[in-house]
């Protein structure tokens, strides 16, 4: 056992060999290098050693012996001191230090945090290997209170304060020797790197990703050579994964005492903030484009709708005058198809820039799915299998049925175009899901996505499947949602195309095959109803579009639309400003068995109604009058006859909000250009339910 003078010499040597370290000495070695037998009282037999001393077998690990100073410092009795290692050093730092000293055959020093009787303390330690027969042991001296009043004491106290300061810093810090070996690490560094005592003694390259190891070694060499502080972005290895970090290195000390301080800064929060900013700018850019389109649509929609209303109205009436199978009837049918496509295009453009909410009703999506598929099946090629499944048949949402119908149609038409002339499959699934926080950031699972997309097994020798890309458009609060998933086995999309699919007028189709508005309209409708879209696509395998809409908790009852045939030719007041628009509306109403009186202008219509308000069964108002608006006219009619049903025909961009419709007494709304079928349904419903408002 070394005496007090030899112990102080070892501590002095450890301090000089490593600036700013805490010294714990484990074990001892005689000048000749031979093992000293240790008697039960050996730690105190050589003289007044006031520091805690213990003998450690790191192979167990276990304390073989200790002096009274250690027992008092640790708060353990003589018999229980042998079992106190786990309590004093739960992280195994002393054992790691002892193993390093034994491996090198030289004293090893470090600053360690241990559990003393008075609580957690940070102390200096030096480890010296000794031979204990068949085993190599380590003797430890815990230097806690150097003699006061000496230069050595002042130095140690300064080092202790500095060590405690570095220990408490939230910034990850490493100290390296001149060769780049880790000498110490504060808790923040251990937390960042997810490593403990095993950091000590590692080469600096061991904490870097393989691609960044050489760059980090160059920075360490430059800092060790006396250059100014070196800094660079380095990919660190954390749990076998690369983590971006900024590493700053600065050399301190001279000669053999040269050391390097490494400051680590985790760049992940900064990168996440940059990504969030980019997404916000992208949404802002998208909003600006939609606003521009909305302003453009508002300027042209009214004029275009008036033209389309005349074309569609007269063409539909002409169909009644032409015999089936005639060439003229076929030509008129093509006019109707073209006019309806134009009408749908105008409505899509207006929907992109609409700012006011549309009237919403409870909608059972299984019924919507059924009616949409009835429209789709005749136009889906025979080589494409169209399958549908409602896993949540009673799921309902609040929204506009026509808009949701448009969403389903657009998604399914895109799926048909993606498959083209090849054989394929389209699956439409309706189910109820619970959205949790972080839903949009869930990782891509290629096997899961391949199963979802129904991809065929790869042929032997084929290239690996491309990685599935995802795009999340919208924002979902945690809660219950209804999901509509449309999956196809088409050509799929690369990430560069997938990232732009919701941009207005963006299309990969040939000229004349697509307007680039379909998915932009889908995105606008879904976002307006508080939903979001998740698109997944694998080139060569297919695409999956998932629409999430907030689930309605209110009870939903579907009431069959029954038509009352015994209305007896009710009299209808038809009012508007444009005779070309009113004429086809009149003929449609008369074809339904109604007696129609047409009045041009709002003031004239109000005078006609007041003259004999009891004879009217319904009022149909076009929202194009300038002298008296349709809203004001409806409000006055409703005041005089609260029981009278009122139908408002208006362009999409001029449609009133739900609150204003109710206040004006409107019963039903029909978008312009008016489709005769939509008008007939609105008339039948209004006559059946009377003046019950929207």
Model confidence at 133, pLDDT cuts 50, 70, 90, reads low
3-state secondary structure of 3: coil
Residue located via tokens 């444009």 = 578
Q: Look at residue 364 and tell me whether its pLDDT is greater than 70.
A: yes
Could you tell me what percent of the chain has a pLDDT over 90?
Answer: 6
Model confidence at 302, pLDDT cuts 50, 70, 90, reads low
Q: Look at residue 126 and tell me whether its pLDDT is greater than 60.
A: yes
The first and second tokens of residue 603, run together, are 């003031």
Q: Look at residue 451 and tell me whether its pLDDT is greater than 80.
A: no
Higher pLDDT, 131 or 39: 131
Cβ atoms 668, 544 nearer than 8 A: no
| Residue 469 phi, psi (nearest 5) | -105, 150
The verdict on pTM exceeding 0.85 is no
Per-residue pLDDT tens over the stretch 214-263:
888 888 888 877 767 788 888 888 888 888 999 888 887 766 667 888 88
Residue 439: its pLDDT value, please? 66
Per-residue pLDDT tens over the stretch 144-153:
655 445 555 6
Residue 227: its pLDDT value, please? 63
Model confidence at 164, pLDDT cuts 50, 70, 90, reads confident
Helix axes 602-611, 630-640, angle to 10 degrees: 10
Q: Look at residue 176 and tell me whether its pLDDT is greater than 90.
A: no
Cβ atoms 682, 668 nearer than 8 A: yes
Residue 621: its pLDDT value, please? 92
> CA angle, 382 as apex, 379 and 383 as ends, to 5°?
125
The rounded distance, in Å, linking the Cα atoms of 356 and 672 is: 17
**Looking at domain 560-689, does it have CATH number 3.40.50.2300?**
yes
Best CA proximity match to 422, nearest among 384, 366, 463, 370 = 384
The first and second tokens of residue 20, run together, are 């700013």
Residue 487: its pLDDT value, please? 93
Best CA proximity match to 524, nearest among 406, 675, 372 = 406
For 390, the enclosing helix (H) or strand (E) is strand 384-390
The rounded distance, in Å, linking the Cα atoms of 188 and 191 is: 5
Mean pLDDT of 174-198: 84
Per-residue pLDDT tens over the stretch 644-691:
999 988 876 667 777 788 788 888 888 888 877 778 778 877 776 654
CATH class of 4-163: alpha beta
Q: Look at residue 301 and tell me whether its pLDDT is greater than 90.
A: no
Residue 28: its pLDDT value, please? 37
Higher pLDDT, 47 or 442: 442
Give the fold, CATH level 3, of 361-550.
Heat Shock Protein 90 (3.30.565)
Report the range of poorest mean pLDDT among 4-8, 294-298, 491-495.
4-8
Contacts of 687 (CB under 8 A, 6+ apart): 564, 567, 570, 617, 618, 645
Q: State the average pLDDT for the chain.
A: 75
Residue 560: its pLDDT value, please? 28
Of 375-384, 385-394, 397-406, 420-429, the range with the highest mean pLDDT is 420-429
Sheet holding 230-238, edge to edge: 182-185, 173-177, 259-266, 241-252, 230-238
> CA angle, 346 as apex, 341 and 349 as ends, to 5°?
125
Residue 375: its pLDDT value, please? 73
Q: Look at residue 24 and tell me whether its pLDDT is greater than 80.
A: no
Best CA proximity match to 674, nearest among 590, 588, 576 = 588
Mean pLDDT of 380-403: 82
Residue 41: its pLDDT value, please? 36
For 179, 235, 621, the CA distances from 638, given in Å and listed in that order, are: 91, 72, 13
**Looking at domain 170-266, does it have CATH number 3.30.450.20?**
yes
Report the range of poorest mean pLDDT among 344-358, 381-395, 463-477, 533-547.
344-358
The rounded distance, in Å, linking the Cα atoms of 28 and 11 is: 12
Per-residue pLDDT tens over the stretch 75-123:
887 777 778 888 888 888 888 888 888 888 888 878 888 888 888 888 8
Q: Look at residue 607 and tell me whether its pLDDT is greater than 70.
A: yes
Q: Look at residue 474 and tell me whether its pLDDT is greater than 80.
A: no
The rounded distance, in Å, linking the Cα atoms of 244 and 265 is: 9
Residue 486: its pLDDT value, please? 93
The rounded distance, in Å, linking the Cα atoms of 589 and 573 is: 11
Per-residue pLDDT tens over the stretch 562-600:
333 333 357 899 999 888 888 888 888 887 778 899 999
Q: Look at residue 467 and tell me whether its pLDDT is greater than 50.
A: yes
3-state secondary structure of 58: coil
The rounded distance, in Å, linking the Cα atoms of 2 and 34 is: 12
Mean pLDDT of 36-53: 47
3-state secondary structure of 539: coil
Residue 330: its pLDDT value, please? 79
Residue located via tokens 């937390």 = 191
Higher pLDDT, 96 or 693: 96
The rounded distance, in Å, linking the Cα atoms of 170 and 187 is: 8
Mean pLDDT of 510-526: 68
Could you tell me what percent of the chain has a pLDDT over 70?
Answer: 73
């Amino acid at each position: 056992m070394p005496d007090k003078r030899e112990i102080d010499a070892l501590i002095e040597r450890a301090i000089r060999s490593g600036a700013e370290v805490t010294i714990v000495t484990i074990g001892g070695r005689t000048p000749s290098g031979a093992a000293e037998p240790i008697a039960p009282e050996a730690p105190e037999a050589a003289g007044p050693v006031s520091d805690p001393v213990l003998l450690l077998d790191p192979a167990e690990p276990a304390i073989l012996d200790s002096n009274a100073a250690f027992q008092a410092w640790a708060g353990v009795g003589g018999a229980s001191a042998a079992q106190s290692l786990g309590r004093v050093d739960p992280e195994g730092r002393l054992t790691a230090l002892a193993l390093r000293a034994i491996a090198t055959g030289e004293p090893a020093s470090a600053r360690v945090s241990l559990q003393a009787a008075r609580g957690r303390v940070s102390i200096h330690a030096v480890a010296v290997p000794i031979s204990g027969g068949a085993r190599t042991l380590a003797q430890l001296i815990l230097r806690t209170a150097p003699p006061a009043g000496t230069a050595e004491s002042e130095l140690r106290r300064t080092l202790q304060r500095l060590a405690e300061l570095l220990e408490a810093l939230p910034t990850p810090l490493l100290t390296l020797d001149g060769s780049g070996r880790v000498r110490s690490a504060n808790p923040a560094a251990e937390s960042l790197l997810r490593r403990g005592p095993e950091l000590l003694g590692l080469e600096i390259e061991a904490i870097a990703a393989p691609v960044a190891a050489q760059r980090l070694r160059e920075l360490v060499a430059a800092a060790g050579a006396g250059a100014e502080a070196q800094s660079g972005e380095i990919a660190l290895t954390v749990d076998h994964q690369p983590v971006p970090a900024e590493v700053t290195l600065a050399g301190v000390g001279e000669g053999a005492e040269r050391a390097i301080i490494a400051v680590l800064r985790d760049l992940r929060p900064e990168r996440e903030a940059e990504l969030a900013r980019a997404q916000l700018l992208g949404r802002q850019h998208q909003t600006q484009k939609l606003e521009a389109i909305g302003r453009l649509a508002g300027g042209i929609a009214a004029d275009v709708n008036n033209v389309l209303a005349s074309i569609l109205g007269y063409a539909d009436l002409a169909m009644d005058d032409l015999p089936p199978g005639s060439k003229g009837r076929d030509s008129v049918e093509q006019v109707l198809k073209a006019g309806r496509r134009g009408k749908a295009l105008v409505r899509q453009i207006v929907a992109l820039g609409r700012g006011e909410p549309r009237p919403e009703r409870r909608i059972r999506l299984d019924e919507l799915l059924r009616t949409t598929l009835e429209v789709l099946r005749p136009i889906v090629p025979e080589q494409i299998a169209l399958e549908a499944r409602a896993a949540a048949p009673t799921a309902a949402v609040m929204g506009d049925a026509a808009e949701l119908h448009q969403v389903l149609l657009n998604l399914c038409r895109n799926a048909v175009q993606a498959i083209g002339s090849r054989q394929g499959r389209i699956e439409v699934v309706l189910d109820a899901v619970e959205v949790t926080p972080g839903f949009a950031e869930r990782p891509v699972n290629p096997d899961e996505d391949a199963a979802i997309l129904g991809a065929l097994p790869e042929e032997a020798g084929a290239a690996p499947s491309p990685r599935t890309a995802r795009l999340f458009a919208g924002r979902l609060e945690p809660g219950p949602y209804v999901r509509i998933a449309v999956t196809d086995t088409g050509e799929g999309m690369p990430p560069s195309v997938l990232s732009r699919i919701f941009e207005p007028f963006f299309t990969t189709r040939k000229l004349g095959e697509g307007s680039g508005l379909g998915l932009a309209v889908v995105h606008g409708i879904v976002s307006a109803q508080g939903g979001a879209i998740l698109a997944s696509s694998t080139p060569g395998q297919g695409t999956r579009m998932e629409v999430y809409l907030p689930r309605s908790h209110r009870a939903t009852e579907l009431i069959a639309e029954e038509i009352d045939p015994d209305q007896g030719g009710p009299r209808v007041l038809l009012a508007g400003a444009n005779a070309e628009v009113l004429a086809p509306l009149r003929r449609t109403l008369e074809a339904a068995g109604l007696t129609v009186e047409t009045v041009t202008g709002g003031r004239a219509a109000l005078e006609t109604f007041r003259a004999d308000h009891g004879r009217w069964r319904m009022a149909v108002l076009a929202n194009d009058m300038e002298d008296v608006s349709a809203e004001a006219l409806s409000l006055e009619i409703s005041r005089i006859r609260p029981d009278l049903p009122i139908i408002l025909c208006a362009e999409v961009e001029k449609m009133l909000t739900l609150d204003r419709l109710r206040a004006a007494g409107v019963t039903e709304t029909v978008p312009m250009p008016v489709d005769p079928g939509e008008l007939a349904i609105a008339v039948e419903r209004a006559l059946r339910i009377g003046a019950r408002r929207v």
